[in-house]
Structure 1
């Protein structure tokens, strides 16, 4: 009995220490923020859940993934495009999506001599998960060409295209539902990771992450960047020719990192959630404010710069920040708009 009690005390102390040094900081309990970076920003209404945005490096068009995540009307679930120079007039809903389409993370593969491809995480309401692949032509039309699923695609959040039919996808949880899922999230357990699909089959490429979220790649293809939402950091992996990943660095960003976009200078632009508890309140109550934060990371030096903070509902629960030379476009998990801000 004495041994059992000692063991129980050790477990309780371990949980208390994890709550104090991992969970509380991850939740933004100690965050101290002031608004910044909002001068000149304008809202563009699109559809509920502007969760991911990417900017075409050649045409400058912005592509936006939208989905209603509170269980409401799904009529706005789509991929959209607009020209940041004239957003209202150019906003276009792109067609040819699968019938049961609940898009999440997106990744654009730019190809020479062939149509570009857009990879999209899809969570069909009928169940399961898929990566949808679209061809994106010079006129800006999407044509659906493939749907891919495999056992390791268990809880996908974001996707990174690396070939015509090959990609990485983050799994934000090991346990998708039930008590195990709640325990994993509440205690910030390092059980999530990254899967890799080589065009024929999938496998786990990285694990041991605390709610893996956004993923992207350096311009030369040598390094893969993976955000940990609850870990509040970015993992840097060296990519081998066979797709395997070797972690070479971890960069603390001190905020709940969501999607990662690569800016024109090679920096990482991250939409983030500085206060997880406020985010959860906003999930249940659309009127509750969830602070938004955008940070820029220099992957060479690890320098983290706070670029934007919104505390008064200008945009709630920011999930992505896509930067061009002229603009910064901020999307959100639930809001029906993006912010377009001058750089």
Structure 2
């Protein structure tokens, strides 16, 4: 790879951390939503951004296009992101920027996975893997392990549990080997945390809660070790672990994890606090702590009402009804 391409690739990568832990569907939570910003996609993109097209090189245009693809994804404007990704792909192909092409396919694959377009995501990830292998990578390359983890996740979501389990086992073994042999293991730990979390959820889906909980706890510890993991991910993990503990009859542990999630969620002013309070109320109810359950579910209802979130309100009302029936 030429130094010129390395520099360009570094500029592109700064807009999306390939090893970031992806938010995954929780056992009982409301997904976060970013701000919606109205914008126009198309040939006027760079004028809209305030750039004069004739002052930019083709490589600059590619970088700016990819940057805004990622911004649209972060804002949950997925249709706009997908349209712009196709623009970026054409740009990369026109200048034969092979690394850019591979990266764009990877962003497309992750977007398809996020939208649970599973067949499309699988096809795109396979394309990315083929391109990386053609560039000289081996199957032990961290990029290949990352893709393999995503493919295992796709099998998991398609309820192909045996295939998913084989994939997760292979990825975790490879990642543990990498951690033992590399000095810069931050990215590897993040990927291991993501894979363990997904694997844990597979066990829960298969009614093997204890094994699932063990993996989710291991993922949580890794998340806490990695400095640049967003605290929101840790809050969600704490909430989900608390919910698993509740389902397994571990009410004391459930209360502990949910209280920790709420304390950190308050600091971050997360929209999901109402759901966490409802989960905590149900855990209190299992312990026959009626006053605490009523207070917690009532506060969850208040937060749902204030934020005009009907889903949280309905969950809280259901919890309050459970408390009254219990009494």
TM-score, normalised with respect to structure 1? 0.24
TM-score, normalised with respect to structure 2? 0.24
Which structure has more helix as a fraction of its residues?
2
Larger radius of gyration: 2
Which structure has more strand as a fraction of its residues?
1
